């Protein structure tokens, strides 16, 4: 968690007004130089305003648990499936970037979402409030220190519920599976425990576990939101790779990913330094979990669960995986899968194909007992 928390009161992108600004931003270590020019963003987005990542992709802006703030869903249906009824999987992103930059991002022309579609899944990706194309919290317009951390587990679980009920109604299904990354495992498990009848299978990639408190000191107060630069992300993506080991993320791939990351916040390139504004609630949730306060009850999970993690993942250690495996004591089928040469961001790394394969094998039931 190497990202520095910054305070900046520049107005972020929202859904309540049209914004016109001129700017000239110097080129940093990452991020392309933009000439001085005017930018206009439509305040009231529709699904048609959002760039397709695939010609078959479908977009939906649906009402969420906060009045006036829409939730964004991207959907890529399986091109051909012989499975009846159809199978749906919803991806739940982590603390710092939305669905387009994770399950849907293509490296060398192929994404995790593509692999799932080829396996017969209709794949959905949710952007939480404050990320990607979903609505921004009104408090993101205010100074970071004026409000408590935004986007914590309880509210995020309600967003997942809104998305899941929409998907099931749209698809005519009774259940769907979830893939959740990192902090996203907290609201995903809270939802799955509260609504076990809606969840088929659960893949937790690099999940956050409860840890024993490290001392009596209280966790520091966090702001409502934070700013993350591409330098912050690069350090985060590479800091867990052991010294002397071959890199697991190419700079070429990161530069391409990084431009898309900056695109996820239309004001990112207006800031100095260039940075993306994200809610700080996920960081607060992780801190509380590591002080012994997990925001859900693992025993309430009744779906089959797979824990998938990288060998070098410092946020999901061997001890974390053991704790979670034991705590999911109501799950009828559990897996703990550890993949070599992977970190917490393995879905963007050289071992991503192993992650895809293991997740698909579990979701299809191909690893069920004989």
What digits encode the pLDDT tens for the residues 144-165?
A: 999 999 999 999 999 999 999 9
Q: Are 342 and 313 in contact (CB under 8 A)?
A: yes
Residue 102 lies in a domain: yes
What is the residue range of 61's domain? 50-363
Residue 52: the pLDDT is 93
Residue 336: CATH number of its domain: 3.40.50.1820
The CA–CA distances, whole Å, from 234 to 67, 196, 344 equal 36, 37, 13
pLDDT band at 19 (very low <50, low <70, confident <90, very high): very low
Judging by beta carbons within 10 Å of its beta carbon (0-12, 13-18, 19+), is residue 182 exposed, middle or buried?
buried
Q: 290: left (phi > 0), else alpha (psi -120 to 50), else beta?
A: alpha
- For the chain, percent of residues with pLDDT exceeding 70: 86
pLDDT in tens, 51-90: 899 999 999 999 999 999 999 999 999 987 777 778 999 9
Q: What pLDDT was estimated at residue 29?
A: 36
Q: Looking at the domain assignment, is residue 10 inside a domain?
A: no
Distance between CA atoms of residues 234 and 248, nearest Å: 12
Helix, coil or strand: residue 116 = helix
Q: Does the residue 66 lie in any domain? A: yes
Q: Does some domain include residue 43?
A: no
Q: Is residue 145 part of a domain?
A: yes
Q: Looking at the domain assignment, is residue 259 inside a domain?
A: yes
**For residue range 273-319, what is the model confidence (pLDDT) as tens digits?**
999 999 999 999 999 999 999 999 999 999 999 999 999 999 999 99
Whether residue 13 lies inside any domain: the answer is no
Report the domain count for the chain.
Answer: 1
Residue 36 counted as domain residue: no
């Amino acid at each position: 968690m190497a990202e520095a928390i910054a305070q900046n009161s520049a107005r972020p992108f929202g859904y309540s007004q049209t914004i016109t600004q001129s700017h000239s931003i110097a080129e940093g270590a990452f991020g392309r130089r933009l000439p001085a020019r005017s930018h206009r963003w439509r305040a009231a987005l529709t699904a048609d305003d959002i760039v397709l990542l695939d010609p078959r992709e479908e977009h939906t802006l649906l009402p969420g648990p906060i009045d006036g703030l829409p939730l964004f869903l991207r959907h890529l249906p399986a091109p051909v499936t012989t499975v009846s009824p159809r199978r749906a999987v919803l991806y739940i992103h982590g603390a710092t970037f939305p669905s387009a930059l994770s399950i849907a991002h293509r490296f060398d022309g192929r994404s995790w979402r593509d692999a799932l579609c080829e396996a017969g899944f209709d794949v959905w990706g949710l952007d939480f409030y404050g990320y990607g194309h979903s609505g921004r919290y009104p408090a993101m317009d205010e100074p970071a220190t004026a409000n408590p951390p935004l986007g914590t587990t309880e509210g995020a679980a309600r967003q997942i519920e809104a998305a899941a009920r929409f998907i099931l109604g749209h698809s005519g299904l009774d259940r769907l599976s979830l893939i959740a990354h990192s902090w996203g495992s907290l609201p995903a498990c809270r939802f799955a425990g509260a609504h076990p009848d809606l969840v088929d299978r659960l893949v937790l990639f690099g999940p956050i576990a409860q840890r024993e408190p490290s001392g009596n000191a209280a966790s520091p107060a966090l702001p409502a939101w934070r700013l993350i630069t591409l330098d912050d992300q690069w350090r985060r993506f590479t800091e867990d790779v052991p010294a002397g080991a071959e890199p697991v993320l190419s700079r070429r791939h990161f530069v391409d990913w990084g431009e898309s990351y900056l695109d996820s916040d239309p004001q990112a390139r207006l800031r100095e330094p260039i940075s993306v504004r994200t809610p700080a609630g996920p960081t607060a949730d992780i801190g509380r979990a590591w002080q012994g306060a997990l925001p859900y009850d693992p025993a309430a999970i009744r779906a089959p669960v797979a824990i998938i993690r990288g060998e070098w993942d410092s946020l999901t250690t061997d001890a974390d995986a053991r704790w979670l495996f034991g705590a999911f004591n109501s799950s009828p089928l559990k897996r703990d899968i550890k993949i070599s040469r992977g970190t917490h961001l393995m879905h963007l790394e050289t071992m991503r194909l192993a992650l895809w394969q293991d997740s698909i094998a579990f979701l299809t039931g191909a690893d069920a007992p004989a």
